[in-house]
Amino acid sequence: MALSAEERFDLIRDNLGEILNPELIESILAEGRNPRVYWGTATTGRPHSGYFVAAIKIAQLLASGCEVVILLADVHAFLDSMKAPLELVENRVKYYEKIITAVLEAVGVSTEKLEFVLGSSYQRSSDYVMDVYRLAAMTSEHDCRKAGAEIVKQSTNAPMSGLLYPILQVLDEEYLKVDAELGGLDQRKLFTAATEWLPKLGYRKRAHLITPMVAGLSGGKMSSSIEDSKIDLLDPPEIVAKKIRKSEAVPRVVENNGIIAMVEFVLLPAAALAGKKEFRVARRDNEPLIYTNIQQLKDDYTNDVLTPQDLKPAAAEALTRLMAPIHKAYADSPEWQEITLKAYPPPVVQKKEKKVKDRGSRFPGANKEKDIPERPKA
């Protein structure tokens, strides 16, 4: 049975923190058309468990009839303080396509319905480059810095590439011919800039679908560049359990609690996509706790019915199950394993050469005959 325009819109906005310009989506649905949406990711550090948030949303977008484009932003990766040096970009793009495909398949998304686009495939065209120049001429340094404040590495003497980053992302909406862009709350300033900047070039403004930010294991933002904040999608079960066990989870406090955020934005929605929305917590001396919505879990956690000691192993077990198909796909693909070594080569550890100390001839135990030079003969 086909969904109504209202039902399709409800599915599109489900689990989002906010939609900018929602009327644009509603008008497309009212016309009976399929909105075209893109989600982009810069091919820098290794993707982490937070990528499940976008994957789950992409699954819902496809279920609502949207066309979905995934942008592998290789040029953006280089522009953001060279997080991906040019000699590594090509293999990092291949790594990202492999792991994003595996993440989507792990939550039940058919990748046959997706379109993968490489940023450099169009970002070096003469029309695109000319639009970069045009927009750069219309945009101040202050506005570019503000737009990229949450997504581009900031420093006191930042390279010009960081200021170009927001301009490229804004133009991507036009060149990918989309109606909306999907992204996290950390991109909100850039999304509002896109709404203002694109009409200056004569292009239409787009809608923006904003997912909530998932707190990291250390309480702040989950980031590829902050090792203690994330779980790598290829971390083995024992490492997943260890990282979650060491994570910050203050009893009775749900704010900035990375484990509760994981249940809310990853584990429960993934279970719903699999057909049974529940999160089960085993307890040693009591009946298990079964949660079908996050408010139940938050209430129990606040009232100390659910403790960190019970929550953490349950989250580790559920996340390990969710990541199992990704691990299998990696283990079954020698090609992917080879790409990984080229994309993220292990650091070269230089051995320190032992310096031979010249301790002279007066230290205890010195060979006097050997170490004391002969006196010249008279």
Tens-digit pLDDT profile for residues 267-303: 999 999 999 999 999 998 899 999 999 999 999 999 9
Distance CA 111, CA 62 (A): 10
Do 27 and 174 sit in the same domain of this protein? yes
Higher-pLDDT residue of 240 and 228 is: 240
pLDDT at 152: 83
Do 191 and 284 sit in the same domain of this protein? no
> 180-184 and 36-42: which strand pairing?
parallel
pLDDT at 361: 60
pLDDT at 218: 77
**Span 166-176, average pLDDT:** 97
Do 78 and 145 sit in the same domain of this protein? yes
Do 138 and 195 sit in the same domain of this protein? yes
pLDDT of 371 > 60? The answer is no
- Domain annotation covers residue 226: no
Domain boundary among 211, 228, 260: 211
pLDDT of 326 > 70? The answer is yes
- Domain annotation covers residue 229: no
Do 205 and 151 sit in the same domain of this protein? yes
Domain boundary among 166, 195, 211: 211
Name the CA dihedral angle for 111, 114, 115, 118, rounded to a multiple of 10 degrees.
Answer: -60
- Domain annotation covers residue 263: yes
Do 82 and 122 sit in the same domain of this protein? yes
Q: For residues 20 and 179, is the Cβ–Cβ distance under 8 A?
A: no
Do 201 and 246 sit in the same domain of this protein? no
| CATH code (residue 245) | 1.10.240.10
Do 102 and 176 sit in the same domain of this protein? yes
- Domain annotation covers residue 10: yes
| CATH code (residue 173) | 3.40.50.620
Q: Label residue 328 by pLDDT band (50, 70, 90).
A: very high
Do 111 and 155 sit in the same domain of this protein? yes
pLDDT at 356: 67
Do 133 and 49 sit in the same domain of this protein? yes
Write the pLDDT tens digit of every residue in 42-62. Answer: 999 999 999 999 999 999 999
- Domain annotation covers residue 112: yes
Domain boundaries, position 325:
237-343
Write the pLDDT tens digit of every residue in 64-88. Answer: 999 999 999 999 988 875 666 888 9
Distance CA 210, CA 21 (A): 11
**Span 306-327, average pLDDT:** 98
Q: Label residue 153 by pLDDT band (50, 70, 90).
A: confident
Q: For residues 195 and 222, is the Cβ–Cβ distance under 8 A?
A: no
Position of tokens 């509603």?
Answer: 26
In the chain, % of residues over pLDDT 90: 75
Distance CA 304, CA 160 (A): 50
- Domain annotation covers residue 97: yes
pLDDT at 151: 84
**Span 87-108, average pLDDT:** 94
- Domain annotation covers residue 375: no
Domain boundary among 193, 211, 229: 211
Q: For residues 35 and 42, is the Cβ–Cβ distance under 8 A?
A: no
Write the pLDDT tens digit of every residue in 347-369. Answer: 877 677 776 666 666 656 555 55
pLDDT at 188: 96
- Domain annotation covers residue 225: no
Do 26 and 175 sit in the same domain of this protein? yes
Q: Label residue 120 by pLDDT band (50, 70, 90).
A: very high
Structural domains counted in the chain: 2
Q: Which two tokens stand for residue 228?
A: 């203690």
Query: What rounded mean pLDDT belongs to the chain?
Result: 90
Q: Which two tokens stand for residue 25?
A: 């989506």
In the chain, % of residues over pLDDT 70: 88
Do 180 and 259 sit in the same domain of this protein? no
Distance CA 74, CA 126 (A): 18
Distance CA 118, CA 121 (A): 5
